[in-house]
């Protein structure tokens, strides 16, 4: 159950494992924030792996790397399908896809972002020029506006969204840090249930309302992860 602070009920749960235990199940559609290894909800992904749920469909910009992020869920064969923009850093992803063990739905990056945003706004679909004339457009409705062809894309409303914030208050209001914001705000809004992890958690009223990126109304559960493991996705060096 959520932790109690004084006389008020907060959204803070003891840890990622207990926050997910009663809401995850086989066959879920998840939206997961992050871009590469930047801004990924690493504690929640680890906890999701421990639940051993299977046949997951995950909408996320990419699948992390072989040893971290969503790549950990691929290692345990918990993912049935990925809806992604870029998957080039994950050898296990490639192996499973070529072996027919993993379904992949490629979505242009801006389209994927808009699909999440639309789902969170209650918009079932929208037309876009991105992907017209490519494999992305196959099987989708085409429509002409002012002499230009567009394709219909569906909004994404996930069963569960997992996001990573820098700072949060006990009511679930979230602030992201610089580029770690990336897909997190739109993933947070498109989940029927949204669980967030944050490095810093403060009392209600301590956050400047003008600085809040995700209002607490979108966040159902909150986990404190004060010491995240910030790995480098691809290290590039040069001689000095």
For 17, the token pair is 């494992």
pLDDT of residue 235: 79
Q: Distance between CA 62 and CA 71 in Å, rounded?
A: 9
142: its two tokens: 């085409």
Distance separating alpha carbons of residues 93 and 99, to the nearest angstrom: 10
pLDDT at res. 7: 40
Q: What residues have CB less than 8 Å from 34, skipping those under 6 apart?
A: 40, 41, 60, 61, 64, 69, 164, 182, 183, 184
pLDDT of res. 3: 55
Strands 148-154 and 142-145: antiparallel
Q: Note the pLDDT of residue 1.
A: 52
| Predicted TM-score of the model (pTM) | 0.93
Res 240: pLDDT = 78
- What's the distance, Cα to Cα, between the start and end of the chain in Å? 53
Q: What is the pLDDT of residue 5?
A: 47
Q: Are 137 and 131 in contact (CB under 8 A)?
A: yes
Domain residue limits, the chain: 4-124+158-224
The fold of the 4-124+158-224 domain, in CATH, is Glutaconate Coenzyme A-transferase (3.40.1080)
CA distance 119 to 87: 23
What pLDDT score does 2 carry?
Answer: 60
The parts of the chain modelled with pLDDT lower than 50 are: 4-7
Percentage of the chain exceeding pLDDT 90: 86
Distance from chain centroid for Cα 59: 7
Per DSSP, what are the bridge partners of residue 160? 30, 193
């Amino acid at each position: 159950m959520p932790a109690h602070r004084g006389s008020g009920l907060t959204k803070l749960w003891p840890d990622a494992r207990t926050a997910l235990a009663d809401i995850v199940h086989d066959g879920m559609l998840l939206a997961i924030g992050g871009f590469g290894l930047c801004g990924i909800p690493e504690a929640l992904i680890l906890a999701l792996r421990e639940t051993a749920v299977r046949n997951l469909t995950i909408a996320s910009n990419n699948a992390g790397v072989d040893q971290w992020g969503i790549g950990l869920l691929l290692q345990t064969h918990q993912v049935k399908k990925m809806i992604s923009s870029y998957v080039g850093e994950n050898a296990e992803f490639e192996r499973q896809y070529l072996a027919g063990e993993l379904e992949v739905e490629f979505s242009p990056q801006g389209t994927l972002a808009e699909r999440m945003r639309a789902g969170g706004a209650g918009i079932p679909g929208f037309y876009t020029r991105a992907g017209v004339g490519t494999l992305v457009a196959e099987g989708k409705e085409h429509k002409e506006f002012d002499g230009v062809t567009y394709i219909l894309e569906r909004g994404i409303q996930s069963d569960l969204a997992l996001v990573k914030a820098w700072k949060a208050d006990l009511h679930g209001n979230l602030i992201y840090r610089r580029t770690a914001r990336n897909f997190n705000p739109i993933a947070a809004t498109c989940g029927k249930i949204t669980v967030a992890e944050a490095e810093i958690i403060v009392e209600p009223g301590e956050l400047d309302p003008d600085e809040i990126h995700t209002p607490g109304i979108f966040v159902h559960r909150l986990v404190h992860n004060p010491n995240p493991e910030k790995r480098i996705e691809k290290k590039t060096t040069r001689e000095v």
